[in-house]
Amino acid sequence: MILADILQWLLLILGALITLNAHWLGAHALFPALVARARRKYVEAPVKTTLVGLAAAVPTLVVVIGVGKSVPNPAVTALAVGLGLIVGFLALVGSAGLVDRIGAGMPSPLDETQPWRRVMRGGIVLGCAFLMPFLGWFVLLPWVLVSGLGAWILAGRAPRVVRAAAEQPLDQAS
């Protein structure tokens, strides 16, 4: 293995870890209430969260792989891949709750004014856990994505009262 191969793998892994953290931070910034509800699901019922995610992920994978391999039409294949990417994105949004939970286990005085730091700390720790050969790649990462999908499903929509307050225009707050 030459130096170029080593640098290629190093940069691919670093890029993946940075991308995962960016998704988790973005989910926390765009959907803070959803991430908070997903975090509660990880605390209250982690096994149920994983089983719900598994029940949703397995049929999706079967459809995506089955359609992708059996239908020769590129448009249908693109739709199947798009479905898989959407489900993957939703899994990342839900797993932001786990990252927030991990970060909350390492409190900092700045968490009150900058809550995104919890997500950053949790994302760094979880991302480093993914680096463990085989166990991190083939057990932990798929579990986080499957349980993230379950957390997203179980977190559901906000109660009507919370949604009404969130839908209020920003200029009315002043």
CB 48 within 8 A of CB 151: no
State the DSSP H helix or E strand holding residue 73, giving kind and residue range, or none if neither.
none
Q: What is the pTM of this model?
A: 0.86
Mean pLDDT for 161-173 is 55
What are the pLDDT digits (tens) for 19-37?
999 999 999 999 999 999 9
159 or 59, greater pLDDT: 59
Mean pLDDT for 67-77 is 87
- Distance from C-alpha of 62 to C-alpha of 48, rounded to nearest angstrom: 22
Q: In Å, how far from its chain's centre is CA 108? A: 23
What are the pLDDT digits (tens) for 144-158?
999 999 999 999 876
Tokens at 142, concatenated:
């798929």
